[in-house]
Amino acid sequence: MRDKRSMLVHVGVIAAALCGAALASAAVRADGALPNNDGADGVLRVCADPNNMPLSNNKGEGYENRIAAQMASDFGYKLEYTYFPQRMGFVRHTLREKDEGSGRYRCDLIIGVPKGYDMTSTTQPYLRSTYAMVLPNRPEFASIKTPDDLLKLPPEQLHKLRLGIFSQTPAVDWLLSHNLIDQAVSYQVQSGDPAVYPGQMIEHDLRAGNVDVVFLWGPIAGYFAKRAGDSVRLVPFPPQPGIRFDYTISMGVRYGEKEWKDKVDQWIGANHDKIDSILATYQVPMLKPVEAPAAKPGDASQ
């Protein structure tokens, strides 16, 4: 359960958008095969968050926006979006909702979902990344090259640190395992305010000194660390036994639309180099792909 919760949080805190999947997933499967909307009018309709950088925004500035634009270009399609905050009801109000006038589904593709996510049918993965620490680039932290190096700081220094974490992520388990949880400054994954985004931990609180170290999903951490310039450093968690920090990300389509899923799958398989090039410009910490365990059915809450 903890693994799946962590998976959803790391997708730009997509977990908050996709709560309650145990019931919703059952409803999806009960509907049976769904009509395939794609291709009839040459439009790629994408479901996305309007304010979730570096993944997406309504200005088209995120890496998911750029991946979608590349796919649309390769298909020879026009690109259109349905935006909805990735919080409670995201799938229901995007991929699963029909336009009242046309009866057509509002959008046909979510660019980023955890592999095996049970509210959608998922494609092959296109990204494997990991959680990371972001800390100020100060002399007292110069020795920290890996997360475990943080634990080697002098006790009087270590136990004064304020550690920013999102609830129900691997960082919680990591702090618990090292008796540091009492120093945690906990942030809610689902704030209820669509103007709030996870990178604020770095842009606002780390810069203001409200926290000393923050723990975030790597793509978010890398992007906002880059924006902060030389004032901070990124320290990714390597894959390791025990607490899982690395996850794979796929694309999501409706169940029953095999032809459309196959088309998207084929595009991903033929364009990993293009996708990787896009991700690299956002400083996404990328790991070599592996066949990751599928998400556990009925456990898609955070």
Digit-coded pLDDT (tens) for 88-133: 889 999 999 998 888 889 999 999 999 999 899 999 999 999 999 9
In this structure, what are the phi and psi dihedrals at residue 273, rounded to the nearest 5 degrees?
Answer: -65, -40
Digit-coded pLDDT (tens) for 174-229: 999 999 999 999 887 666 666 677 788 888 899 889 999 999 999 999 999 999 98
Model-wide pTM > 0.75: yes
Angle (CA) 40-83-96 rounded to 5° is: 60
Domains of the chain: 2-127+248-281 (3.40.190.10), 130-236 (3.40.190.10)
Tokens of 208: 């203001």
DSSP designation for 204: I
Is residue 130 within 8 A of residue 245, CB to CB? The reply is: yes
Pairing of strands 127-136, 56-57: unpaired
- Measured distance CA(71)–CA(44) in Å, rounded: 8
Q: Residue 21: is its pLDDT beyond 50? A: no
Measure the N-to-C terminal CA separation of the chain; round to a whole number of Å.
9
Is residue 213 within 8 A of residue 221, CB to CB? The reply is: no
- Measured distance CA(120)–CA(95) in Å, rounded: 9
